[in-house]
Amino acid sequence: MQSLLEEAIKKSNADYVDIRFEESQRTVVEYLGKELENIGISTSRGGIVRAIVNGGWGSVSFQDPEELSHYITLAIEAARLVGKSFTRMASARRIRDEVKVVIKKDPREISLAEKKNLMEEYNDILLKIPRIQTTSVRYHDVFLTKYFVNSEGSYLKQEWCEVVAVVQAIAREGSNVQPASESFGSTTEGFLAIEGKHSLVEDTGLRAVALLDAVPVTGDRYTVIIDHKLAGVFAHEAFGHISEGDLIYENERLREMMKLGNQFGVDNLHILDNATLKGYRGYYCYDDEGVPSSETFLIKNGILVGRLHSRETAGKMEEGITGNARAINYAHRPIVRMSNTYILPGEKSFEEILEETSEGLYVRGARGGQTNGEMFTFSAEEAFLIQNGKLAGRVRDLTLTGNVFETLKNIDAIGNDLVIINSGGGCGKGAQSPLPVSFGSPHIRIQNVLIGGR
């Protein structure tokens, strides 16, 4: 494959050309309630050519690598039709490397029957819990080999593997329906990452049942302590996306708000995106432009110090490349995406933060949400009232709404218990979803949060 790609690209005539080719094997097992909805193994292979001529981009995806010269010509012709100025793409060093993945228990060596049986065990645990109406148990693994060459002389071959399971229990009593979910997986542990999770699965079902008896929260402004998962979702969704260079460059108002050097929070607030974290879903050695992955601080000591870039956005904004150009698969060109985004730990324990909070809410888990620029709305899975520094009754059906910049400034306590979540879903942007990412945080306390409820 290396010689085929490199010989083809030598014949290109453009300001820049790159080729990405991928081969993958995937396994899926999915239960919905008592039924096995989906099971199977699939393989795929294909690639994409990108070309730049006078600042214009052209791209062509393909499956037959034997016709590469033809696809390169098509991409160059498309780029020439839209090119009107000059190419602004940050320089990157020439790299030649091969990256082999090291997996503790390779999922390709586990039979489909064994994978199915384990998911069936997890599903049966949930279905046997009283008041659980239905379930969803999903397993997938993928082993991916990616080739990359460009007209600057780079050549890369990278292997990547992940194994992920997601379980959801839906409890019901009359019109009261309450879901709870959990996901677990790894990019280095292999099948080990999803074995022996029987107690965690059972806890997920019991949590859904407990929510049936919780009281709907009263809408108001609260002091809130949020857990690792919800705080991680906040870091990713509310702040991470507006730190992506393409969104900033294209939005004049956002460029002003996201000016480097702006104060966004307390001195011990640090948010970063780190693709070098092995084992997590956002881990990779090189992005889809052949740029080495990196640890990129977005906020350091409460001050905005960085953002995420592709080579194009770094060139346009005259900033350093960060290795955050990613594509969901070979049919798409890479765009600026997060990897593992999280808040660094502070010094206080959860118990200390709780004891210091006379009244408020302890909010856990995330059921989803949406962002619109700097505004966000997230639905939490559950919460507990805080009274005199102690957890009181469980409440449910709550949303958190606010402005990300105001919320960051209202963070007044950061825990010392960082947890990074290997979410079983993924990130969506620009019709490319779900892209593997992870997110996380320690417990954090935020003042004056608008909570929606009854």
Distance CA 270, CA 58 (A): 38
Copy the structure tokens of residue 40. Answer: 């199977």
Instruction: Please give the average per-residue pLDDT across 55-65, as a whole number.
Output: 94
98: how many CB neighbours lie within 10 A of its CB? 11
Distance between CA 292 and CA 186 in Å, rounded?
21
Banded pLDDT at 424 (limits 50, 70, 90) = low
Q: What is the CATH superfamily name and number for domain 2-213?
A: PmbA/TldD superfamily (3.30.2290.10)
What's the rounded mean pLDDT across residues 353-357? 97
How would residue 292 be classed by pLDDT, with cut points 50, 70 and 90? very high
Q: What is the mean pLDDT of residues 303-318?
A: 96
Mean pLDDT, rounded, for 283-306: 97
Instruction: Quote the percentage of the chain above a pLDDT of 70.
Output: 100
> Which 3 state secondary structure label does DSSP give 425?
coil
Strand (E) positions, 232-358?
Answer: 271-274, 295-300, 303-304, 325-326, 335-336, 340-343
Is pLDDT above 80 for 425? Answer: no
Looking at residue 21, what is its pLDDT? 98
Tokens of 46: 């294909």
Label residue 11 by pLDDT band (50, 70, 90).
confident
Domain residue extents for the chain: 2-213, 216-452
Instruction: For residue 176, give the amino acid letter.
Output: N
DSSP E strand boundaries for 280-324? 295-300, 303-304
Mean pLDDT score, 363-389? 92
Q: What pLDDT does 426 receive? A: 85
pLDDT at 38 over 90: yes
Is a pLDDT exceeding 90 seen at residue 266? yes
- CA–CA separation, 386 vs 57, rounded Å? 55
> What is the Cβ-side half-sphere exposure of residue 381, based on CA atoms within 13 angstroms?
25
17 with 73: CB under 8 angstroms? no
Sign of CA dihedral 307, 311, 317, 319: positive
Say what the pLDDT of residue 12 is. 87
Q: What local confidence, expressed as pLDDT, does residue 414 receive?
A: 98
Residue 453: pLDDT band (50, 70, 90) is confident
**The length of the chain, given as a count of residues:** 454
Write down the pLDDT at residue 85.
84
* Mean per-residue pLDDT of the chain: 95
For the chain, percent of residues with pLDDT exceeding 90: 91
Helix intervals (H) in 31-179: 68-82, 112-127
Hey, CA dihedral for 248, 254, 259, 262, is it positive or negative? negative
Query: Is the confidence at residue 88, as pLDDT, over 90?
Result: no
Q: Are 289 and 308 in contact (CB under 8 A)?
A: no
By three-state DSSP, how is residue 101 classified? coil
167-191: average pLDDT: 95
Average pLDDT for 437-448: 97
Residue 145 has pLDDT above 90, yes or no: yes
364 has pLDDT over 70: yes
Whether the predicted pLDDT of 71 surpasses 90: yes
Q: What is the mean pLDDT of residues 215-233?
A: 95
Residue 454 has pLDDT above 70, yes or no: no
Q: Is the model's pTM score more than 0.75? A: yes
For 323, the token pair is 């290795």
Q: Which helix (H) or strand (E) holds 420?
A: strand 419-421
**Residue 300's CB: how many other CB atoms inside 10 A?**
15
Average pLDDT over residues 133-149: 98
pLDDT band at residue 367 using 50, 70 and 90 as cut-offs: confident
| pLDDT: which is higher, 454 or 255 | 255
